[in-house]
Amino acid sequence: MENKAAKNPGFSKYFVRTFIIGLGLFSLSLMDPLYNTYVPLYLRRYIKANFLVGGIMTLDNILQLLLIPVIAVWSDRTRTRIGRRMPFIAVMLPVSALLFHMVPIMAGVSLWALIIIIFFFNIFKTSVRGPVVALMPDTIPGEYRSEANGVISMMGGVGVITGTLLLTRLIVIKDGLPFSAAGICTILAVVVLLLFVREGPPDSAPENWEKEKTEKKLSVAASIREVFSPARGQGEKDYSAPLILVSLFFWFMAYEGLQPFLGLYLVEVIGVAESNAALAQGVAGISGVALAIPSGYAAHRLGRRRFIRICLVFLTVILLMVPFSTDFVLRQGFSINACLLIFLLLMFLYGTVWIGVMVNSFPMIWQMTNYDNVGIYTGLYYTFSQSAAIFAPPITGLIIDLGGYRGIFIFSGICMFAAWCTMGGVKTGEPDDRPVAPVS
């Protein structure tokens, strides 16, 4: 047994490499909360209409929808001495850091200077996300990607917490200091990545993952059509790729539709002070960070598809419980603090289960790829998730206007259940699965 364990160290062999790769997502996650917190405040110096401020703030979602698949396919085809993802990371992340540093400076110049700088910042930050995320499946074997994505998701969560709880405190010293600090951290992360990560097919990779320069180069449109073409499985057509993309659209509709209104629910329904409006997202985020790595190991043991479907059932139940439990507590005359405690407990459970879906969905998608199309699958993940981020908030806002806040939890629960249904048709994506060819 000892000799066998020595020959097969499992994921521990790749832990340090995964941690270093995770610095890319850490740096992006470091900038996101600062951007979402302070850029609206900068815009409000010039613009009074919340509608216009919100429209400018959706720019990154629109760019992610359009740019990530294109840049991801471009990186699939790139062949350089330092790899195919690293050239994008080495250029675009430092430029993003520099532009991010300049955001508060331009905010003090004029509205147009601010809009121009955030436009170019979002182009570079959005473009680099696909190569940053695709770097992990390029270097980690398929059987360990759930564990690896758990580590990377944890680092992304730590980046959000660091940006929210630590860097934001620097604003009292100097207005732009949090942006400068995040930029410096990002550049340092790039230096570490360039020094310690060597790209190439993952160790113990199957034959169809071997790196090769193919003469045939599919266009972006053709690459997308290939993803949505049925694959040939065990004597029957396999629609796993399109079905998991539809599934993640549904669960992101649930997630993105809920996030903007959790603070308002706390303030306007439960009655807590505005200073505590961010508690729900904070509690869910902390529980997610704590259980990101265990979720990867649990899915490896139970199976990714089964684990995700179990999580979706729990998410459906938790979301449906929120409005009815809080309404019941308030009707019984309990204190606001008691109602808040129940709500935060449910949000803690929500974050605990949600991270299980997030950690294992990307590994399932990557398991359906070969070496030449990892980028397009990564790009389509963001196309579907960002489509949900664009469509969901207006829908849930309309639901609130028509029927009150209870409706958004019911809507999100229905979306999670719809994702559970479509995931039932996914047949591949497990650690031992290999990509199957599209039906010609």
215 in any annotated domain: no
Task: Quote the Cα angle for 17-21-26, to 5°.
Answer: 135
pLDDT above 90 as % of the chain? 26
- Quick check: 372 pLDDT over 60? yes
Three-state secondary structure of the chain: CHHHHHHCCHHHHHHHHHHHHHHHHHHHHHHHHHHHHHHHHHHHCCCCCHHHHHHHHCHHHHHHHHHHHHHHHHHHHCCCCCCCCHHHHHHHHHHHHHHHHHHHHHHCCCHHHHHHHHHHHHHHHHHHHHHHHHHHHHHCCHHHHHHHHHHHHHHHHHHHHHHHHHHHHHHHCCCCHHHHHHHHHHHHHHHHHHHHCCCCCCCCCCHHHCCCCCCCCCCHHHHHHHHHCCEECCCCEECHHHHHHHHHHHHHHHHHHHHHHHHHHHHHHHCCCHHHCCHHHHHHHHHHHHHHHHHHHHHHHHCHHHHHHHHHHHHHHHHHHHHHHHHHHHHCCCCHHHHHHHHHHHHHHHHHHHHHHHHHHHHHHHHCCCCCCHHHHHHHHHHHHHHHHHHHHHHHHHHHHHHCCHHHHHHHHHHHHHHHHHHCCCCCCCCCCCCCCECC
Which of 144, 178, 202 lies at the terminal end of a domain, its last residue?
A: 202
Indicate whether 196 and 288 sit together in one domain: no
- Examine residue 233 and state whether it is found in any structural domain, yes or no: no
Terminus-to-terminus CA distance in the chain, angstroms? 46
Taken as a whole, the chain contains a residue count of 440
Least confident range of 330-334, 349-353, 415-419, 423-427: 330-334
- Residues 258, 189 share a domain: no
Q: Which pLDDT value is given to residue 231?
A: 64
In angstroms, rounded to a whole number, what is the distance separating the alpha carbons of residues 104 and 341? 37
User: If you average pLDDT over residues 49-72, what whole number do you get?
Assistant: 76
Are 194 and 305 contained in the same domain?
no
pLDDT at 277: 64
Give the residue among 207, 368, 359 at the shortest CA–CA distance from 289. Answer: 359
- The reply to whether 63 falls in a domain is yes
Do 197 and 311 share a structural domain?
no
Whether 227 is covered by a domain: the verdict is: no
pLDDT above 70 coverage of the chain, percent: 87
274 and 410 share one domain:
yes
> Within the chain, what is the greatest distance between any pair of CA atoms?
71
Q: What does the block give as tokens for 12?
A: 């521990």
Residue 412 dihedral angles phi and psi, to the nearest 5°: -65, -40
Q: Is residue 335 part of a domain?
A: yes
Domain extent for 347? 238-423
198 and 273 in a single domain? The answer is no
Mean pLDDT of 81-109: 91
Question: Is residue 299, in this structure, part of any structural domain at all?
Answer: yes
Domains contained in the chain, number: 2
Same domain, 74 and 190: yes
- Residue-wise pLDDT for 209-253, tens only, equals 444 444 455 566 666 777 777 765 555 677 888 999 999 999 999
Q: Among 202, 226, 252, identify where a domain stops.
A: 202
- Does residue 224 form part of some domain? no
Token pair recorded at residue 3: 């000799």
Residues 6+ apart with CB under 8 A from 173: none
Q: Are residues 349 and 413 in the same domain?
A: yes
259 shares its domain with 398 = yes
* Shared domain check, 91 and 11: yes
Q: Is the pLDDT higher at 129 or at 76?
A: 129
Quick check: is 231 in a domain?
no
Residue 204 has pLDDT above 50, yes or no: no
State which amino acid sits at residue 223. S
- Round to whole Å and give the CA distance between 329 and 342: 9
- The answer, yes or no, to whether residue 96 has pLDDT greater than 80, is yes
pLDDT of residue 311: 96
What pLDDT score was predicted for residue 287?
A: 83
What does the alpha-carbon distance between residue 136 and residue 145 come to, in Å, rounded to a whole number? 8
Q: Based on the domain organization, do 379 and 299 belong to the same domain?
A: yes
Q: Based on the domain organization, do 21 and 141 belong to the same domain?
A: yes
Question: Any idea what the CATH number is for the domain that residue 388 is in?
Answer: 1.20.1250.20
